[in-house]
Chain A
Amino acid sequence: DSGVTQTPKHLITATGQRVTLRCSPRSGDLSVYWYQQSLDQGLQFLIQYYNGEERAKGNILERFSAQQFPDLHSELNLSSLELGDSALYFCASSAREGGQETQYFGPGTRLLVL
C-alpha cells in the first residue's frame, strides 16, 4: 500500500458526460501528479500540482482540468468524454528523498466510456 488513495476504483459513463476523479496524497506530500495509462498511448504524464499551484502540464487535453485543494487532495475533471478517454488514470504523490522526488502511485481509477 503506497499511502495514495484514489476514488472511485471503477467508473462507467457515456460519451459526452463529465466525471471527477479524486486523489488523496500520502501524508505530508505536497506534489500530486496525474497520469493516464491507455493501450495505445501507454503511460503519459498529464499534469502536476505542488501545494495547490499548477507546476507542470503534459499531454492534457483542454477538456480535462485538475486542481489541488488546501488539504492537498486533488481532483481531475474530465468533460465531454469520448470513447478514446477510456483508460486507467493514476495519481502519484511525491516527497523529496535524498535529493530527488520519488513518486508513489495510487491504485488508479479505471474509466470506461461507452
Chain B
Amino acid sequence: GEDVEQSLFLSVREGDSSVINCTYTDSSSTYLYWYKQEPGAGLQLLTYIFSNMDMKQDQRLTVLLNKKDKHLSLRIADTQTGDSAIYFCAESRMDSSYKLIFGSGTRLLVRP
C-alpha cells in the first residue's frame, strides 16, 4: 500500500524535547523528508534523510531511520513555542517521478 502513518497530535512543554514518529510502507523509498506547516502557510522543508543512513542531525533536529521496521522519527531538542505547527513526513518514490507520499501530519503544540 501507499500509507505513511503518523500520530495526529503531540503536546510538549517549552524546553522539552519533542519526538514525532512516522511509519512508511514502501521499502523502495529512497529519501524520507520532514516538512513543517504553520497555520495558513505553505510547507517548509525541514530536513531529509537518505534510506541508507540511520541518523542525521541538523542543529536542534535529529532524524532517526529504522529501515528494518520502516520507522522514521524527528526529534526537536529544546522545543520552543515557535515550533508549534503541523509536521509531515513524506517518502519519495523513485518510479517515473520523485513524487512525495505524505503522512497525515502530526500537530505539535508547545505549552509555555
Contacts and interface: CB of A to CB of B under 8 A. Distances in A.
Interface stretch (A14-22, A62-70, A71-79, A96-104): A96-104
Contact of A45 (B43, B45, B48, B99): B99
At the interface, is chain A mostly helix, strand, loop or mixed?
strand
Given A56-B95, A58-B99, A100 B31 contact: yes
B92 to A, nearest CB: 7
Contacts of B31: 100
A106 to B, nearest CB: 6
Given A105-B43, A107-B42, A100 B88 contact: no
Contacts of A48: 97, 99
Interface in B54-91: 88, 90
Most A CB contacts (10 A, CB to CB) among B45, B99, B102 go to B99
Contacts of B35: 105
B43 A42 contact: no
A79 to B, nearest CB: 23
Contacts of B42: 2, 90, 105-108
Interface residues of A, number: 25
Interface in A4-38: 31, 33, 35
A97 to B, nearest CB: 9
A104 B17 CA distance: 27
A103 B90 CA distance: 11
B98 interface: yes
A86 interface: no
Nearest to A43: B102
B30 interface: yes
A55 B96 contact: yes
27 contacts: A2-B42, A35-B100, A35-B102, A42-B104, A43-B90, A43-B102, A45-B100, A45-B101, A48-B97, A48-B99, A56-B96, A56-B99, A58-B99, A92-B43, A94-B98, A99-B50, A100-B30, A100-B31, A100-B48, A101-B92, A103-B98, A103-B100, A104-B45, A105-B43, A105-B44, A106-B42, A107-B41
